[in-house]
Amino acid sequence: MLTPESFDLDGLRPFVRILSEKVRAQRGRPPKDEVRLVPLKDINYVRQMESWMITTRPRRREPLWAVTDETMRSWLKQAVRRDGGDFSIPVTPHTFRHSYIMHMLYHRQPRKVFQAVAGHRDPRLMEVYTRVFALDMAATLAVPFTGDGRDAAEILRTLPLLK
């Protein structure tokens, strides 16, 4: 749940503080190492958030949007259905997390950076992204698989979920 207190929009490097699911389930102030600081690179988004917060004046610890996780999932399902998307994996809000990390990998961000953004202490948890990246690069470079491509899709579907 994002609150105005989650955002730091004033500095040279705006960011949002995000708590993991485990931390959100706990009461009280989270330990510093349980909070992820995610950079906000889109300056237009930052300016719109600043303007919106000044205009609406939400309370510091009040949720910015009265929308549940289930509502977001429902909206996303409707959008995928409406636009006729055909994906090899289910599209969920968590898919955007993976997409963001893959985007960082494609743009050659250091592994430590996207590991920190993802909130993974164990670097082995990031290996799934590098395996997907390798599969995608192999497809881009037309490196043939021994199978017919369905093998690659099956590998992606059976990768362990990251939390």
Q: Give the CB-side neighbour count of residue 5, counting CA atoms within 13 A.
A: 9
Instruction: Give the integer Cα–Cα distance in Å for 23 and 17.
Output: 12
Instruction: Give the integer Cα–Cα distance in Å for 94 and 124.
Output: 19
DSSP H/E element including 134: helix 127-140
Residue from 45, 100, 106, 129 carrying the catalytic annotation: 129
129 catalytically annotated: yes
SS3 (DSSP) at 71: helix
Residue 136 in contact with residue 153, Cβ under 8 Å? Answer: no
Which amino acid makes up residue 78?
Answer: Q
Closest CA to 126 of 93, 108, 102, 147: 102
Running DSSP on this structure, what letter comes out for residue 34?
A: G
As annotated, the active-site residues are: 129
